[in-house]
Amino acid sequence: MKTIDELLAEGVAGKRVFVRADLNVPLDGTTITDDGRIRAVQPTIARLAEAGARVIVASHLGRPKGAPDPAFSLAPAAARLGELLGAEVAFATDTVGDSARAVASELADGQVAVVENLRFNAGETSKDDAERGAFADQLAELADLYVGDGFGAVHRKHASVFDLPARLPHAAGGLIAAEVGVLRKLTDDVRRPYAVVLGGAKVSDKLGVIDHLLGKADRILIGGGMAYTFLKAKGYEIGTSLLQEDQIPAVQEYLKRAEETGVEFVLPVDVSVAEEFPDLKTKAPADSAVVAADAIPAGRMGLDIGPETGRLYASKLADARTVFWNGPMGVFEHPDYAEGTRAVAQALVDSTGFSVVGGGDSAAAVRTLGFDEKAFGHISTGGGASLEYLEGKTLPGLAALED
């Protein structure tokens, strides 16, 4: 896999460089609420511009239906990128149309442009190879070179991620190189004890990585909405908590395998509950309470791990030399149900081991709760990509960058 260092050594001045970034940031209207992904790719873009490249940045944002949708415009991301670069960033109002072609052709050496959301074109995400390839052909007309640096999308077989690198000389950007380097520390020659913390809403999203990690991790700690399927699998009453009943047999099998292989599987011992999901802009419901994990009342739902569980999990992470964390422990967006996630984040900060926050909501939670990003070993920009890498899957976007 060619690196951006090698590409720069060959010279990029005057050349149009297509950078597939991940600018998929959360928005409140047109206001960016977490610019972590833009800040992560900014160094690669800056290096190319400083070397005299004419940089064309492309990304997806959200899940539009293959047609333009103002709610998913990349205009706010382009403006924020310009602020971080300290230079004007041109913005094309389409992806491969008249505006994109004009903007790309008018760039001078060292200038940067962003084209509109790739997913406004059905060809970007099409499962039909010919349709995807046709869109990749149009994208290729905009540039001379390709740099893949959108780690959060490398697990997708999309036109700009998988098909386009085959049409242009290509290299991996600095962010992708860093992400892969970190993930190798979680799969090759891991320092032990190796602890994994998994949260988030659905257990089905994590089954593959649990299956793979049962042969690699020393401890697996479970929180978030997915924890209630595990508690139900143990025969506990979980009230109206989130449940994927069809996953119970798989969960029971994993618990059995963990016991047989000596992997410590740690579940919540207490949880915060309420009668209904909270309005994120108001105080917690008056009926909010902490109960034992095996005694959730009927009619109540679990919304966070409890304080005793937070202390238990911190103790399980204290001596870990490697920690991977993916998924919040509760509804961290509400201050009354953020303490479990805060406890895990603080445990990683306090740990002397190498800690990796696995992207997605976990990364957003760390920033939302006010933690210094430098206090963690690494904060990934791609939750789904990180999980699939740890499952041992081939990621299309990485395979496409191989020579």
Residue of 20, 122, 3, 47 lying closest to 396 (CA atoms)? 20
Clarify whether 185 is annotated catalytic: no
Q: Among residues 360, 382, 383, 397, which one is catalytic?
A: 360
CB-based burial label for 236 (10 Å; 0-12, 13-18, 19+): middle
Clarify whether 367 is annotated catalytic: no
Q: Are strands 289-292 and 270-274 parallel, antiparallel or unpaired?
A: antiparallel
Task: Render pLDDT for 59-117 as a digit per residue (tens, 0 to 9).
Answer: 999 999 999 999 999 999 999 999 999 999 999 999 999 999 999 999 999 999 999 99
Q: Which two tokens stand for residue 68?
A: 């333009």
Q: Among residues 101, 167, 185, 202, which one is catalytic?
A: 202
Residues 6 or more apart in contact with residue 320 via CB below 8 angstroms:
193, 194, 195, 218, 219, 351, 353
Clarify whether 342 is annotated catalytic: no
Task: Render pLDDT for 14-27 as a digit per residue (tens, 0 to 9).
Answer: 999 999 999 999 99
CB-based burial label for 27 (10 Å; 0-12, 13-18, 19+): middle
Q: Which two tokens stand for residue 99?
A: 């505006």
The single-letter code of the amino acid at 351 is S
| pTM score | 0.90
Residue of 3, 364, 400 lying closest to 181 (CA atoms)? 3
Task: Render pLDDT for 294-330 as a digit per residue (tens, 0 to 9).
Answer: 999 999 999 999 999 999 999 999 999 999 999 999 9
Q: Looking at the DSSP assignment, which residues form a beta bridge with residue 291?
A: 271
Q: Among residues 20, 37, 219, 300, which one is catalytic?
A: 37
Clarify whether 202 is annotated catalytic: yes
